Amino acid sequence: MRAVTYSELGGPEVLEVADVPEPHAGPGQVRIKVAAASVNPVDWKTFRGLMPGAQAPAGPTVLGWDASGVVDEVGEGVTGVAVGDDVFGFGRGTQAERTVLTAWAPKPASLDWSVAAAAPSALETSERVLRLLDLQPGQTLFVAGGAGGVGAVLVQMAVAAGVTVVASASADNQGYLAEIGAVGVPYGEGLVDRVRAAAPDGVDAVADVAGKTPAADLFALAPSRDKVLSIANFDLAAEGGRVTGGSESERRPTEALAQGVELLRESKVVIKVQTFPLERAREAYETSLSGHVRGKLVLLP
């Protein structure tokens, strides 16, 4: 089968669409014929060697963490799903013609395949951030980077939970932030003053999803340093902030998907996607690395 692989660390030039052996569903897993697979920053952080403990792979390694598709193999002990069912969920090596999922949910018939593929990681990360920050209805959240793939979903999930959201993005994305329910502020010099003007009573927590806002600005806005949480700036913890990298102890993928299905079905979360054929994976990653993506990037095998 065809898959997006890397065999050495580097930029998008190390990526190859190559033939690799098909995986099979193990106990507690399902295999799908992939309809669409999402591109996430963790993918390029992996092949660029930016993750903690990064090292070159021993051989061709398939990228991707989430996908949508049709079940074509069911592992031992799996119930509630059958061959032919439409699902979306999490796996490893999803940017391929077939992949194995370890957590999944039924795909609503009204949900486009590419949107379904774009949803899992963004839903799980957003659910985790809101849970770890313990935000309550009526409180205010500042999201640093609210127009990207995770940021936009986080904004919408927070709004759906009754949280007021102020979010930063480029000048071009201010209209988009308003569209998804946030009070938008341009990032850059003077950010702290702009956020304070947008939220005169202050914010109750800060979520950094882009990793580009200076730590001093994030801390200046939060009521205390432990109310600053980043998914992108792993140095923040050394300064008293919090970092979540998606460890197994923090993740609740099945619950996040179940919650997300309802939000997607009710259009309380709407995900914008840009699609690329699998053969144009390098271009998709170059776009992701540009840092100016609105919504999510998705590969179509």
Give the DSSP per-residue string, 164-211: EEEEEE-GGGHHHHHHTT-EEEE-STTHHHHHHHH-TT--SEEEESSS
Q: How far apart are CA 83 and CA 137, in angstroms?
A: 41
The predicted pLDDT at position 27 comes to 98
Q: How far apart are CA 278 and CA 3, in angstroms?
A: 8
CA-based angle 181:185:188, to the nearest 5? Answer: 145
SS3 content of the chain, % helix, strand, coil (to 5): 35, 30, 40
The predicted pLDDT at position 113 comes to 98
DSSP code, position 107:
P
The predicted pLDDT at position 52 comes to 76
Q: How far apart are CA 138 and CA 144, in angstroms?
A: 19
Neighbours of 110 (CB within 10 A): 9
Residues sharing a CB contact under 8 Å with residue 217, sequence separation 6 or more, in sequence order = 191, 192
Largest CA distance in the chain: 57
Short-list 159, 133, 134, 136, CA closest to 146: 159
Q: Which domains does the chain have, with CATH numbers?
A: 2-107+271-300 (3.90.180.10), 123-243 (3.40.50.720)
Using DSSP, state whether 72 is helix, strand or coil. Answer: strand
Residue located via tokens 């010099």 = 189
φ, ψ at 275 (rounded to 5°)? -105, 150
Contact present, 243 and 237 (Cβ < 8 Å): yes
φ, ψ at 273 (rounded to 5°)? -130, 150
Strand 98-106 with 140-144, pairing? unpaired
Contact present, 258 and 105 (Cβ < 8 Å): yes
Helix (H) or strand (E) run with residue 275 in it? strand 273-277
The predicted pLDDT at position 129 comes to 97
Residue located via tokens 């923040």 = 236
Through-space distance between the first and last CA atoms of the chain, rounded to whole angstroms: 10
In order along its 301 residues, the chain shows pLDDT tens digits of 999 999 999 999 999 999 999 999 999 999 999 999 999 989 999 999 888 778 889 999 999 999 999 999 999 999 999 999 999 999 999 999 999 999 999 999 999 999 999 999 999 999 999 999 999 999 999 999 999 999 999 999 999 999 999 999 999 999 999 999 999 999 999 999 999 999 999 999 999 999 999 999 999 999 999 999 999 998 999 999 999 986 767 888 989 999 999 999 999 999 999 999 999 999 999 999 987 788 899 999 9
What pTM was computed for the model? 0.92
CA-based angle 33:13:8, to the nearest 5? Answer: 80
Q: How far apart are CA 4 and CA 67, in angstroms?
A: 13
